[in-house]
Amino acid sequence: MRSLELPLFPLKTVLFPGGILPLKVFEQRYIEMTKACLANELPFGVCLVTQGEEVARADEAPATFASIGTLASITSWDMPEPGILHIGVVGGARFRVVSHAVRRDGLVVGKVAAIPAEPTVALPAACAPLVRLLEALAQRVGPQHFPAQHAFEDASWVGYRLAELLPLPLHIKQTMLEVNDSEVRLSVLQKFLRQQGLV
C-alpha cells in the first residue's frame, strides 16, 4: 500500500470522502500549511481530535487524534482580514496514520497509508427512506454545504452524506468513517434513525 507524507490538521470534526468542509484558519502554522498546499496543489489530512484542543497553548501537550483520517483538497480560499484565511475543502481518500512527528512550529506531519475506496454498491431498495431524508437534509443545509454531484444510488455516498449531516456524537461519526462496508454503515444509520423516529 502506497504511503506518503503530508501535514495533518487535527480538528473536532470528521471529514468524509466527497464531503464539503469550510474552515477558518488563523493559527500561523496552519496558515503556512495552507499556503504551501495551495502553492503546490497538494492536500492535507484531517483527523478527529480525540483528546485535547484544536488550538493548543504553548504549555499544553499536542492534541491526540484518530489514526484514520481523510485527505482534504482546497477548493476555495479567501482572506477577509489579515491573519485569517477562510478555505473550503473537499474530502478525498481515507488514510491511516502510520507515524507522525510534531515540527518546532507545532505542525503535525504524518506518514500515512492510503485506504482503498469502497467498491461501488447499489443502494439497497430497503434504504429508499434514507434517500428521502438525505434529500431533505441537503435542502436544509443548502447547496454550499452539499456536494454538487449527487450519487443517491451509491450506498457509500449516501452513507457518508448521512453520517456527516446527522447530529451523531463525534466518536460515532469516526466509527462511520472507519467502517469498510457501506451496507454495515447504512444499517447502523438506519437503526439510529429508527430509534429517533425519523424513518
Fold of 3-114: 2.30.130
CA-to-CA distance for 176 and 79, rounded, in angstroms?
A: 33
Helix (H, G, I), strand (E, B) or coil at 53: coil
What are the structural domain ranges in the chain?
3-114, 125-195
Q: CA dist 49 to 12, 59, 73, 123, Å?
A: 5, 18, 19, 31
CA distance 8 to 45: 5
How far is residue 106's CA from residue 62's CA, in Å, rounded to a whole number? Answer: 8
- Give residue 113's identity as a one-letter amino acid code: A
Mean pLDDT per block of 10 residues along the chain (199 residues) reads: 85 96 92 94 95 66 88 93 91 96 91 93 91 92 87 95 93 95 93 81
Q: Which CATH number fits domain 125-195: 1.10.287, 1.10.4060, 2.60.120, 1.10.150?
A: 1.10.4060
Whole-model pTM: value is 0.91
